[in-house]
Amino acid sequence: MLRTLKNGPVVRNRLRLPHPVRSDLRIAVICDPTSSVAATALRAGATLVGEDEIFAAVKEGRIEFDRCICHSDSLAKLNKAGLGRVLGPRGLMPSTKTGTVVKNVGESVKNMVGASEYRERLGVIRMAVGQLGYSPEELQRNIKAFMDSVRKDCAGLSDRITKEVHEVVLSSTNGPGLSLNGDLRGPDSIPARDLATV
């Protein structure tokens, strides 16, 4: 968990960690099921491809995917299906703004498999960076990659607003948090300068 300044635009990104936390992500690709795009999407790791079948399942309330990508050639058909009211509130509606309406479906699916998404809410960013079985080195590499990504996102907003990371806390899902900014450091701990944005 990161605590940042609360003002200005939020920090938001999708990140593929060196050691992915979630590898069971179900990705739906809206495209012509008879096209080469569908075959490419399945090879890249998509679990569901098609158009009318996916539209019908969503309208029946069967949303059997965690992420949704739309090939740009199928966007008009997706908009005509009117799924925005169902998929929108769940954050699953593909759009050009979120980078989920794409030409290169294969590359997008590959980047999404094993990726995690984070977003700043009320000045706090939360993201899973490891699992119980991870070694200290794997966890350290994931934390470093996460901090690098957040620092890059904060720097990208520097022309509009100043964003700073005030505290970095590591905790289990329901356990107490340990501040990585405090005195609980070992010889291999991440240096404080790598945890800061300034």
Range 105-125 average pLDDT: 82
What is 27-112's CATH superfamily? Ribosomal protein L1/L10, domain II (3.40.50.790)
* pTM (predicted TM-score): 0.59
Give the closest residue to 190 by CA, choosing from 198, 181, 177. 181
In terms of pLDDT, which residue wins out, 183 or 122?
122
Give the closest residue to 166 by CA, choosing from 190, 188, 195. 195
Range 137-161 average pLDDT: 84
pLDDT digits 0-9 by tens, 57-108: 999 999 999 889 999 999 999 999 999 899 999 889 999 888 899 999 988 8
pLDDT category of residue 6 using cuts at 50, 70 and 90? very low
In terms of pLDDT, which residue wins out, 22 or 52?
52
Instruction: Name the residue type at position 35.
Output: S
For 84, 103, 120, 132, 195, the CA distances from 5, given in Å and listed in that order, are 32, 36, 10, 30, 15
pLDDT for the residue 8: 55
Domain extents in the chain: 2-22+116-195, 27-112
Given a cut of 90, is residue 54 above it in pLDDT? Answer: yes
Given a cut of 90, is residue 156 above it in pLDDT? Answer: no
38 in helix, strand or coil?
helix
Look over the chain and give the mean of its residue pLDDT values, rounded to a whole number.
82
What is the third-level CATH fold of 2-22+116-195?
Ribulose 1,5 Bisphosphate Carboxylase/Oxygenase (3.30.190)
Given a cut of 70, is residue 5 above it in pLDDT? Answer: no
pLDDT for the residue 51: 95
